[in-house]
Structure 1
Amino acid sequence: MNQTFDGFDRTPYLAAFQAGKTSLMMVNVHLFFGSESARDMNRRALETFAVAKWARARQKSKFSFARNVFAMGDFNIPKKKAGDPVFDALTKLGLELPAHSSEIGSNLSSDKHYDQIAYFPGESKNLISSAVGIFDFDGAIFPTLWKDGNNVKNFRAYLRYYISDHRPMWIQLRPA
């Protein structure tokens, strides 16, 4: 299927930080989901590859503020393994995805891992401690709804409306 990348559905957000002699650049995305059709999956993969290409260009540029680049957010990856078109698009240029230290999924049903934090091998990878995961906020937010185990549907609807339909990701970095 021939499709071209026509731009992002939602513009990625960029932040750069410096701590001591270490500088970091982080891009946060919420990429296209659409459906499971071949056309929509290809569009998802094109957006994902655009993020990976941008990250690689920043990492390699001598004019970049930071070469420690982290791409993170909702990539809408159906399966976190080789052979999945979105996963392959994200990792094709060298980005790696750490294993999560938490077992919970990033969506409210806990059955998907759409959200990821990706980095390039080398210094960026060395900045990551062994802790990366998804924050399970279910019992901490709207505890009255959470305690009513018969009301999971209402709890998820409440979260989706007032907070998000995804749980937050976190990563622990060590000093360089």
Structure 2
Amino acid sequence: MPFYRDIDTATEAGKRTAERLLRLRRELDAQVPARTLEETLLLATWNIREFGAGKYGGRLPESIHYIAEVVSRFDLVAVQEVRRNLDALNRVRSVLGPYWKCVFTDTAEGSRGNNERMAFLFDSRKVRFGGLAGELVIPPLQDGRRTVGAADQFWRTPFVVGFKCGWSSFSLCTAHILWGSGGGDNPPDRVAEIKHLAQFMRTRALDPDSWSQNIVLLGDFNICDDDDETFKQLTDAGFTVPPEVRQHPSNAPKSKHYDQIAFFENDKRLETTGKAGAFDFFQTVFRDPDDEALYVPDMGQGYETDSNDNPRDAQSKNGYWKKWRTFQMSDHLPLWVELRVDYSNEYLQRKLAED
């Protein structure tokens, strides 16, 4: 469980933090299955908005506690939008405690890369790093008459890491797909990036020499809906998004399916239990409109006046507040799924069948 020793309940902010954490813990208890020692794995993906960028004044200490509390309810979490500055990530790790380990990429450089990193946080008491870790660079691709070189393939390099848990070994590939331009919900460059990623990881899943042929694609794919051309690129490559995952939008307003968890399962040791969700933390922390007035001192002058120094009216202030709180938590909800990792019964049944 996370550490709470630095919360000073003698202060207004500290008291609020403790009260909100209790509320958050109750809601997590109600929505997310309890972690088990051997039977299941709780896998999540979370785009934590500009994590480490310091915009809108940076994250408050209480926000770090709320993020850590959410992360702690899972066994393994893929995180997107970690920035060059690792202070926020390290603050969360400090709250989580020493058993929580992290593996992350270098930053993706240039205007396209946006100084972003990919990361995995995992509880080492249950999840083991398998030794495989690498940023994905795929061979030159033929796109019509044009050859697409490595530098043009991915704006932010996907990150592949191998893990072991229970009876299961699997490679997780996390990505933050470009937004793209034109084409409404299916801009051609976004469609192409998902296609290139999914097709390449399909080859890894079918390669008998791969570290693991169980492949999971997860992260922010900027897919608006599961009937879009963007989503079709995953399924055309042989990946499956479980129905219990597909039913949960993952943006803060719960109107888009930006985040995905897609499986290419080969050895039948990565089955879902039927439980999944997208946890809406704004139901318990930084609630709108209930909590807006509490954070006026923390929001600063930007809450009172716009960029032209004109006073904001109530509607404009509320709009600023709703954006500000996404830089405390995120504009994405953590998407999660529960997996079976104990296959002892199946193994014993096969042993009996051999006689």
TM over 0.5: yes
- 8 A Cα contact 1:13 1:27, kept in partner: yes
Distance 2:216 2:169 in 1: 11
- 2:333 alignment partner, one of 159, 167, 170: 167
Q: Closer, same or farther in 2 for the Cα pair 1:117/1:79, shift >3 Å? A: same
**SS in structure 2 of the partner of residue 147 of structure 1:** coil
| 1:103-114 equivalence runs, <5 A | 105-114=249-258
Are the structure 2 counterparts of residues 33 and 123 from structure 1 closer, same or farther at C-alpha, using a change threshold of 3 Å?
Answer: same
Counterparts of 2:246 and 2:208 in 1: how far apart (Å)?
36
Cross-structure match for 2:194 = 48
Which of 78, 99, 104 does residue 243 from structure 2 map onto?
Answer: 99
In terms of Rg, which structure is larger?
Answer: 2
Amino acid at match of 2:263: Y
Task: Sort the Cα spacing of 1:152 and 1:14 in 2 relative to 1 into closer, same or farther, 3 A.
Answer: farther
Q: 1:65 aligns with which of 211, 224, 228?
A: 211
Across the two proteins, how many residue pairs are aligned to each other? 172
The 4+ residue runs of structure 1 with deviation greater than 3 A are 1-5, 100-104, 121-126, 148-156
Which residues of structure 2 form unaligned runs of 5+? 1-142, 293-314, 344-355
State the Cα distance separating 1:55 from its structure 2 match: 1.8
The 1:136–1:19 alpha-carbon spacing in structure 2 relative to 1, beyond 3 Å, is same
Contact 1:94–1:121 (8 Å) recurs in 2: no
Task: Note the C-alpha offset of 1:160.
Answer: 2.7
AA aligned opposite 1:51: L
Report the CA distance shift for 1:89/1:101 in structure 2 as closer, same or farther (over 3 A): closer
TM norm structure 1: 0.81
The residue type paired with residue 260 of structure 2 is Q
Distance in 2 separating the partners of 1:100 and 1:59: 23
Correspondent of 2:230 among 60, 63, 86: 86
Question: 3-state SS of the aligned residue for 2:174?
Answer: strand
Letter aligned with residue 202 of structure 2? R
* 1:63-101 deviations in Å (ceiling 9; x for gaps): 2111111001111112202xx221121211111111236
Contact 2:170 2:213 in 1 (8 A): yes
Picking from 17, 26, 40, the partner of 2:163 is 17
Task: State the AA in 2 paired with 1:10.
Answer: R
Q: Aligned residue for 1:33?
A: 179
Q: Which residue identity does 1:113 align to in structure 2?
A: H
8 A Cα contact 1:56 1:93, kept in partner: yes
Per the TM alignment, residue 154 of structure 1 is displaced from its structure 2 partner at its CA by 4.1
Question: In structure 2, do the counterparts of structure 1 residues 107 and 155 end up closer, same or farther at CA, with 3 Å as the change threshold?
Answer: farther
CA–CA distance in structure 1, aligned partners of residues 217 and 203 of structure 2 = 13
**Over aligned residue pairs, what C-alpha RMSD do you find?**
2.9
Question: What is the distance in 1 between the residues matched to 2:279 and 2:153?
Answer: 30
Q: Among 147, 162, 171, which residue is 2:290 paired with?
A: 147
Conserved 8 A contact 1:17-1:23? yes
CA contact (8 A) 1:146 1:155 kept: no
Using structure 2 for the length normalisation, give the TM-score: 0.43
**Distance (whole Å) between structure 1 residues aligned to residue 182 and residue 240 of structure 2:** 24
In the alignment, does 2:226 pair up with 1:76? Answer: no
